């Protein structure tokens, strides 16, 4: 073995160490996020601050304190109650965004901040593992399912952190994101792992950097939209129960969790904006794939399973955006369309890549 090969093997080993280290820190971030939700659930304010308010929502903008604190005592300190930001339905009551996973308590907020700090550290280790893998193979670090999966998880965390840097209220994404990334990396290192190797000749192209990087970034952002759509379905049902004339109230657990999320209308708006923003990039991904296919195989389109399901995913998201823009679909119908579209993306990624025979395959998987 020459020195170059030995150096590349050493770098590949360090890449694995960094990925496993990132998983360990993501686990700590997951625990911190869980603590944020647990301590937030202990606050009565956290359980009730997102209840339906009277028209105008003036009370929703007022600071909220515990009875002891209001009397000058030493009760549990809480943060300010959020303002009403939207209406769930035209002519309906104002619905404020929930205070967040911390439930309005300073202790819950502290654990949330710790979770974010741990997520940043895990992200740095994660990205270090990806970059080290790229250096070890001297190419783009997404030539097989293992590399694609680790990069996709890193891109999802990157998108989340960018939204936080932009001062967007997305800390509620922290727990589902940490859970998903841990599952993604666990699957990558246990089932999808492939040793460092060079690509098949058809993949030796600069289009690997363009096409696959766009696919990864698109999937990462579409994931955020899918999480918002799923949470919307739960939050919307919760709001409907609160507003039901029969007076039947949701259970204590559902109330504790769901009232801390953004309002259903805010989740719906977030999902739509995220999907609409990244849809042009997903469109370019398919076009770039077709151009690469012509360069590699002499045709732009060959009805390969991967090509077909990429197009099906594009159509699903196009239907979602078209329904929102022209038909005026909002709420549950649009959310279900968004969820179905992302399921198509997942089917294309896992099932087609691993179990369906075609020209699009990853080395060793």
pLDDT tens across 63-72, in order? 433 433 444 4
- Taken in order 54, 57, 60, 63, is the CA torsion positive or negative? negative
Query: Is residue 279 predicted with pLDDT exceeding 60?
Result: yes
Dihedral (Cα; 345, 348, 350, 351), 10-degree rounding? 130
What is the arithmetic mean of pLDDT over 89-94? 49
Number of C-beta neighbours around residue 251 at 10 A: 10
Most confident of 108-122, 284-298, 326-340: 108-122
Cβ-count burial 207-236 (b if 16+ within 10 Å, e if not): bbebbbbbbbbbbbbbbbbbbbbbbbbebb
Give the per-residue pLDDT at 113: 94
| Of 136, 313, 121, the residue nearest 215 (C-alpha) | 313
Higher pLDDT, 236 or 198: 236
Facing residues of 78 across strands? 105
Tell me how far apart the alpha carbons of residues 120 and 118 are, in angstroms, rounded to a whole number.
5
152-189: pLDDT as tens digits: 999 999 999 999 999 998 999 999 999 999 999 999 99
108-153: pLDDT as tens digits: 899 999 999 999 999 999 999 999 999 988 888 888 889 999 999 9
Tell me how far apart the alpha carbons of residues 289 and 215 are, in angstroms, rounded to a whole number.
10
3-state helix, strand, coil in the chain (%, to 5): 70, 0, 30
Give the per-residue pLDDT at 77: 44
70-81: pLDDT as tens digits: 444 444 444 444
Strands (E), the chain: 84-87, 94-96
Identify the residue whose tokens are 């090969």.
5
Give the per-residue pLDDT at 305: 86
């Amino acid at each position: 073995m020459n020195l170059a090969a030995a150096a590349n093997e050493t770098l590949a080993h360090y890449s694995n160490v960094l990925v496993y280290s990132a998983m360990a820190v993501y686990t700590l971030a997951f625990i911190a996020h869980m603590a944020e939700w647990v301590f937030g659930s202990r606050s009565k304010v956290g359980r009730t601050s997102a209840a339906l308010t009277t028209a105008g929502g003036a009370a929703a903008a007022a600071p909220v304190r515990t009875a002891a604190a209001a009397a000058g005592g030493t009760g549990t300190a809480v943060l300010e109650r959020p303002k009403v930001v939207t209406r769930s339905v035209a002519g309906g009551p104002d619905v404020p965004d929930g205070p967040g996973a911390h439930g309005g308590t300073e202790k819950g907020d502290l654990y949330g901040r710790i979770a974010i700090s741990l997520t940043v550290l895990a992200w740095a280790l994660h990205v270090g593992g990806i970059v080290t893998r790229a250096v070890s193979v001297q190419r783009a670090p997404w030539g097989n399912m293992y590399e694609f999966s680790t990069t996709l998880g890193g891109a999802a965390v990157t998108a989340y952190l960018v939204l936080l840097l932009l001062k967007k209220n997305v800390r509620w994404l922290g727990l589902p994101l940490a859970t998903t990334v841990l599952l993604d990396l666990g699957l990558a290192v246990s089932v999808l792992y492939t040793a460092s190797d060079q690509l098949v000749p058809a993949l030796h192209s600069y289009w690997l950097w363009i096409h696959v990087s766009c696919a990864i970034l698109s999937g990462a952002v579409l994931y955020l939209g899918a999480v918002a759509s799923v949470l919307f379905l739960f939050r919307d049902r919760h709001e409907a129960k609160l507003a039901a004339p029969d007076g039947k109230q949701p259970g204590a657990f559902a109330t504790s969790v769901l009232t801390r999320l953004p309002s259903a209308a805010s989740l719906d708006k977030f999902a739509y904006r995220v999907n609409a923003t990244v849809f042009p990039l997903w469109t370019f991904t398919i076009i770039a794939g077709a151009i690469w296919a012509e360069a590699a195989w002499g045709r732009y389109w060959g009805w390969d399973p991967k090509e077909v399901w990429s197009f099906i995913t594009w159509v699903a998201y196009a239907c979602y955006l078209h329904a929102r823009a022209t038909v005026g679909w909002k709420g549950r119908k649009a959310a279900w369309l968004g969820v179905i579209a992302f399921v198509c993306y997942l089917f294309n990624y896992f099932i087609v890549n691993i179990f369906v025979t075609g020209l699009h395959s990853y080395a060793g998987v």
